[in-house]
Amino acid sequence: MTTQRIAVIPGDGIGPEVAQVGVQVLARLAQLKSLPLSFEWFDFGAERYLKDGTILPDGFMQKLRDDYAAVYFGAVGDPRVPGNEHAKGILLAMRFELDLYINLRPCLLFDERLSPLKGKGLPHLQLIMFRENTEGLYTGTGGTFKKGTPDEIAQEVEVNTRKGVDRILEAAFHHAEARGLTKVCMADKANVMLFGHGLWRRAFAEVAKKHPKIQAKAMYVDALAMDLIRQPEAYQVIVTNNLFGDILTDLGAALTGGLGLAASGNIHPGRVSLFEPVHGSAPDIAGQGKANPLAMLLSGSMMLEHLGHGAASLLLLQAVSEQVKHGRNTPDLAKALGCPVGTTQEVGAEVLARLELLTGA
């Protein structure tokens, strides 16, 4: 099997701390399961930008398309860079230029004690969120007129293409079918955003027809947000546009243990795709060994699945789940779990030991 090259971009703040653990664990898992993975590190981030002005070098995007199977990304953001312009140039550029139209965020509750809804009996809560990642209100389409005057006009245009809507809806239904799930819910605001979200409604009805075994339901996003707090267990796959997805995925993360456990994939099926924890560079805890590496590891598990290594992906998921329930954990989880506190490195080492046990090494 040809080697699958993975570009590792650790980035800023806690990014390098969690990326180090992530690569250490994935590389050992690759060894244990004979997976043909290689990891190559790139130093793009605030430090490099401040040193020589590089955000991403010319030709890097093409290199990723031609030579790499995936990008394993830490986090970017540094208070020394005004407006975080380097971060936009790195992360948003990759999302748009590589056409990573699926932002996939599984919100998995590993232990009920981590949810603000604890006590409700949610032992198997799983919300799989599909956020459209290349259109909507985040394309920068729009402008200002008479800026800085009392008559200022600012317009932010929402872009909805039929092609873009169809493909994210198809991805959500396909995911549900492939995993034996039975429900897909679409969130929109078609009652007031008649044109753009009218398109989403029509596309949803047509795509749903092609998947008759899946229970398809379209909801207004405000109603869905309320219901996700009332009865999250009623939902399985949720699909929505860029802005609503941004908000609902944070809600999903909060319901299932917070940023330390929230993983994501920025995916174009069959092409180089990017996997990263949802959290940012967390300058408030950087360099203190407090960063939870589990979101990075769960993003690694998603990357393994994308690369065709489903069994290894599940092993890593299981090791992380056991770690949450039975291991030491970083301070963001330890209090709620009532478990001993471990550093980023210590938690990573325990997950590694669990993998060795699970694979019988």
Verify binding: residue 281, ligand NAD, rule CB under 6 A. yes
SS3 call for 297: helix
**Short-list 295, 342, 339, 332, CA closest to 317:** 295
Verify binding: residue 262, ligand NAD, rule CB under 6 A. no
**Catalytically annotated residue among 189, 217, 220, 227:** 189
Name which position in 16, 22, 45, 77 contacts ligand NAD (CB under 6 A). Answer: 77
Verify binding: residue 100, ligand NAD, rule CB under 6 A. no
338: left (phi over 0), alpha (psi -120 to 50) or beta: left
Verify binding: residue 129, ligand NAD, rule CB under 6 A. no
Verify binding: residue 314, ligand NAD, rule CB under 6 A. no
**Short-list 254, 222, 221, 260, CA closest to 238:** 221
Verify binding: residue 84, ligand NAD, rule CB under 6 A. yes
The verdict on whether 250 is a catalytic residue reads yes
CA gyration radius for the chain?
Answer: 20
Do 169 and 186 meet the contact criterion of CB atoms below 8 Å apart? yes
**Catalytically annotated residue among 146, 222, 325, 335:** 222
**Short-list 86, 94, 85, 88, CA closest to 60:** 94
How far apart CA 277 and CA 267 sit, in angstroms, is: 14
For ligand NAD, the closer of residues 164 and 260 by Cβ is 260
Stretch that binds ligand NAD, among 60-68, 84-92, 169-177, 201-209 (CB under 6 A): 84-92
Verify binding: residue 351, ligand NAD, rule CB under 6 A. no
Query: x/- site string to ligand NAD, residues 330 to 349, per CB under 6 A?
Result: x-x-----------------
How far apart CA 236 and CA 242 sit, in angstroms, is: 19
Name which position in 260, 300, 327, 342 contacts ligand NAD (CB under 6 A). Answer: 260
For ligand NAD, the closer of residues 280 and 342 by Cβ is 280
Name which position in 225, 243, 254, 259 contacts ligand NAD (CB under 6 A). Answer: 259
Q: Which residue, chain included where needed, has tokens 């090791």? A: 319
The verdict on whether 189 is a catalytic residue reads yes
Name which position in 133, 240, 292, 323 contacts ligand NAD (CB under 6 A). Answer: 292
Name which position in 203, 295, 324, 351 contacts ligand NAD (CB under 6 A). Answer: 295
**Which string of DSSP letters, residue by residue, matches 180-207?**
T--EEEEEE-TTT-TTHHHHHHHHHHHH
Residue 230: is it exposed, middle or buried by C-beta count within 10 angstroms (0-12/13-18/19+)? exposed
- Work out the end-to-end distance of the chain between its first and last CA atoms, rounded to an integer number of angstroms: 23
For ligand NAD, the closer of residues 4 and 264 by Cβ is 264
Verify binding: residue 9, ligand NAD, rule CB under 6 A. no
**Short-list 74, 80, 72, 76, CA closest to 90:** 76
The verdict on whether 12 is a catalytic residue reads no
Stretch that binds ligand NAD, among 157-165, 170-178, 218-226, 283-291 (CB under 6 A): 283-291
The residues near 161 (Cβ < 8 Å, ≥ 6 apart) are: 135
The verdict on whether 78 is a catalytic residue reads no
Instruction: Name the site residues for ligand NAD (rule: CB under 6 A).
Output: 14, 75-77, 84, 87, 91, 259-260, 276, 279-285, 291-292, 295, 330, 332
For the annotated catalytic residues, the residue numbers are 138, 189, 222, 246, 250
